[in-house]
Structure formats: structure tokens, C-alpha cells
Amino acid sequence: MINLKKSLAFGLCVGLFSLSGAVSATTTLHVATWLPPSNPQNSIVWPAWKNMVETATEGRVKVVIENYTGAPKTIFDAVEDGVYDVGFSVNAYLPGRFKLASVAEIPGEITSAEAGSVALWRTYEKFFKSAQEFQGLQLLGLFVHGPGQLHTKFPVNTLADLKGKKMRVGGGLVNELAARLEVTPISAPAPKSYELMQQGVVDGTFLPSEEQMTLRLFEVSDYLTIFPKGLYTTAFSIVMNEDTFADLSKKDREAIMSVSGEKLSRLAGATWGEADNDGIQIAKANGVNVIQLSPDDPRVKNVNKLEEGMDQTWVESVADRDIDAKAALDYFRENMNALSQ
């Protein structure tokens, strides 16, 4: 009887140990996000990626999406330091660190956020990866939002109307365009646009049309001026803590990357780009003057002239990186053209 009890006790311990091991084998990834719930990254992209990761890893990896209360530019450090496992932010919020992806920010290059995002990821894989700009992080995806437009409190009948106006800018090549437009730039993250416009600190902001909806800019702007190719785009990176990624099994690392990379980049770009139409409709429904310019409009032609040479500005800006910048730009454009057809 004693031996039977010992055997049962031993079996129970082994069973509990095995159960404990099964439970501990589950990894939870904490994702930091910093935009409003209505933003497509939070309403569509993160929930979709969560489902894809959990399905691909057969439940061994769980994903929890958490609101990040710090400044968007600190997301990269928070992920690198292990405060969060995954996050995303604007590359230009850390000027000098992530320079190469700004190939996708050259004005006049991108009309489709989906095509731009896929082209950017492919260019990274072929030309940028060796530069190791993401050292200390596991890159999961790269994407751009839809073409950036003008959200203002004043009408932009000619480009001269912009001279001296205080405009919120987020960094990157849009700052160079702002200088050429002779506006007074006010640097701030996108979510600050509403507050800055409401308080009269700025006269407008450079952002894609979807922000009329997501950031409720329809409440603080009177005009949305839409250029056919936009004025600029912004590059985002989706990153994961390198140690967290390395600690996963090879099978789960491969599973996560199978639903990330180009697939995640395409999803994010397409989702953000499609939201522009919703932003335009929200603006119109709330009395914002929406001016959609034609390619022949003098304002468009004058912007095109101002943008000349900004591709070379990008090439020169990455001269300190060990890459063939001209070949990378050509490859990015080839992919953009093929994907946009």
C-alpha cells in the first residue's frame, strides 16, 4: 500500500511538473502601441497580426496589445530595453539612427501605401539589411502611410499662402520640403497635431487624409488640400526585442517571420492607405473644405518643381552607410512601378 501511495504521489508530481512545463512553454509578447484605438494600426493591423502569430505558433506564442503612455520616439528604446517585446514608430523620430528607409519618404514617389510598403521591405532585404541599422532589434516590418496632405485653418490658393505659416512636421524628408515651401516648421509627433491646432500654436499640419478621422482633425481644421501624389510619406518600423526573439524556438521564430516581413508590411501599408478615403468622407461630412487638386493645377506643378532633386538629397543623406544608394533607389522605384500597375 505504501509503495502504491508513493507511486501515485510520484506520478502526480510528474504530471504536475509536465503540466507546469507545458504552461511555462507559452510565451506572451507585449506589444506597445501609441495611437488612438480608431487608428488602423490598432483597429486592424495589430489584431490581425496577433491572430496570425497565435495561429502560426499553434498557441505557443500569445500576443497582448498594450497602450504605450510614453513619447512615440521612445518606443524603439522601450523595445530594445525589454520593457515591451514588440512596438512600432516613425523612423524619423530618431534622426540619424534609421536613415535608409527614408528612401520611401522622397516626395512624389509613392501614390499607394501598399505598394510603397512592399517596395520598401524588398529594398531593405536586398540593400539595407547589411547596414545593420536595426542592430539590437529584430525587424518585423516596414511600411508607409498614405500620401501626406495639407490640413490647415487657412485656404491654400497658391503656394505663397504657406509662406511663414506655422506647420507641424514630423521629421524626415518632409522637413526639407517644408523648408522649400518656406513655412515655419514646428516639430512634434502626429498625435500632438490636434492640440497644437486647437490652441493656435500651429496653422496646420502635414499628415495623410485618414487623420481627419483618426486624430479628429475635422474638429480643428477648415481645409484639407489633397495633392494627387501627396506631398510626402513617412516610414515606420515594426520591431521586436532581439533577446525575446532569440529565446523562442527555431520553429516559433520561423512561424512569426512567416506572418511578418513582407506580409506584415503589405498589411500595414494597405490598411493605412485605405483609411484615407474614410478620412476624406469624415472631413466632408463635418464641413471641412476638401480641395482635391488635379495634376494640371498650378499648385501641383509648383510643388513638383520644388521637389526636384530631393531624390539626390536622400542619396547624399545616406552616404555614411555602406550601401549602393543609387542602386537601392532604382530598385525601390522598379518595385513601386511594378506593384502600382
Averaged pLDDT in 10-residue chunks for the chain of 341 residues: 41 43 73 94 97 98 95 96 97 93 92 96 98 96 96 98 96 92 95 97 97 97 96 96 98 98 98 96 98 97 95 96 97 94 80
- Which of 191, 76, 84, 90 has its CA nearest to residue 137? 76
- Which of 322, 306, 328, 337 has its CA nearest to residue 130? 322
Q: How many whole angstroms separate alpha carbon 85 and alpha carbon 81?
A: 9
- Whether the predicted model's global pTM rises above the 0.85 cut: yes
pLDDT value of residue 32: 97
Residue 107 and residue 172 in contact, taking contact as beta carbons nearer than 8 Å: no
pLDDT for 78-131, tens place per residue?
A: 999 999 999 999 999 998 999 999 999 999 888 899 999 999 999 999 999 999
Tell me if residue 294 falls in helix, strand or coil.
coil
Q: Which amino acid is at 318?
A: V
pLDDT for 117-141, tens place per residue?
A: 999 999 999 999 999 999 999 999 9
Residue 92 and residue 235 in contact, taking contact as beta carbons nearer than 8 Å: yes
pLDDT value of residue 47: 98
Which set of grid coordinates corresponds to residue 57? Answer: 505558433
Which set of grid coordinates corresponds to residue 153? Answer: 485653418
